[in-house]
Structure 1
């Protein structure tokens, strides 16, 4: 029987825990995340999509406090829509990443979130930006979240420049699978978004279809 205060997880901050990743290929980007959301030791959502659209061809991957990360994404989505109307064309990926960086830094005492921003624009093609503590850096790939510490060795060893779109998609799936096997805060399904000049493709890979490296 529950006490008057209710279950312990109700008083815990809801966090995405998570593993997030984004990588550039020639002509676009691939983003990926797991789907587990936890509050303390309890899993409160097994299938949250942590890849949030900021504009038609710009997405962000969320980690940290679920509410804080979603709030930042919604603020940037609104500001990018206004910016796009003002300039009469689609916004640049760097503009989206700069907005995320500015909001995250301005409210660093109130908000606890880390977002990776990635997408495609006509000026610079596919781009990945890491935003953290006021920093904004473009990188060929970026990983984040609690599961990232388990896969840095893997991504450093397996990444190579010039990978095709299909190779980058497999790289993202493999990285997420490894993190979800090792990190107790990562799990569920894998969400994948592939963006290039012609399309934005969303895909879900169920847990039983993820590759396993431990039976080989």
Structure 2
């Protein structure tokens, strides 16, 4: 997928509770089609595990991890997450951690940034958020600032 501007919404909904981020449009369309077929044939929505296995068939890997980071700024952020992530965070703590991480990526990486879109999925449902990075994110230029 070619992203012509950094404000593009790279979050694609596959089912009511499964989203993909920054995946190519063709992979998202294909997996979404297979998930729709699953729903029609079995009369029930696909689980997250089913969706993950379908993406795996498109060349991805499924490994259970406490967190996963991808994209241009990801190598820089692994050190930050190794230090800042903790088991059992509240929803608010996790969302703030992601915003802080993205502010670091924006400051270090010219391909990251502009705005931040997030999706939080939990037992209460799905919540999409939008944060204009140029006005709402706290500026960070170093991991030492955190």
Q: Name the TM-score, length of structure 1 as normaliser.
A: 0.62
Residue aligned with 2:118, SS: strand
Please give the root-mean-square deviation of Cα atoms over the aligned residues, in Å: 1.7
Distance 1:201 1:151 in 2: 24
- Correspondence list, 1:1-216, <5 A: 14=2, 37=3, 44-62=4-22, 69-104=24-59, 131=60, 135-207=61-133, 208-214=135-141
The one-character-per-residue Cα deviations of 1:10-66 (angstroms, maximum 9, x if unpaired) are: xxx83xxxxxxxxxxxxxxxxxxxxxx3xxxxxx31311111111011111125xxx
By how many angstroms is 1:136 displaced? Answer: 1.5
Query: Which structure has the higher relative contact order (CA within 8 Å, separation 6+)?
Result: 1
**Which structure: larger Rg?**
1
More helix by share: 2
Where structure 2 has 5 or more consecutive residues not aligned to the other structure, the ranges are none
Aligned length in residues:
142
Where structure 1 has 5 or more consecutive residues not aligned to the other structure, the ranges are 1-12, 15-36, 38-43, 64-68, 105-130
Q: Name the TM-score, length of structure 2 as normaliser.
A: 0.89
Distance 1:185 1:214 in 2: 16
Show the counterpart of 1:107.
none
Q: Is contact 1:50-1:62 (8 Å) kept?
A: yes
In the TM superposition, structure 1's runs of 4+ consecutive aligned residues that sit over 6 Å from their partners are: none
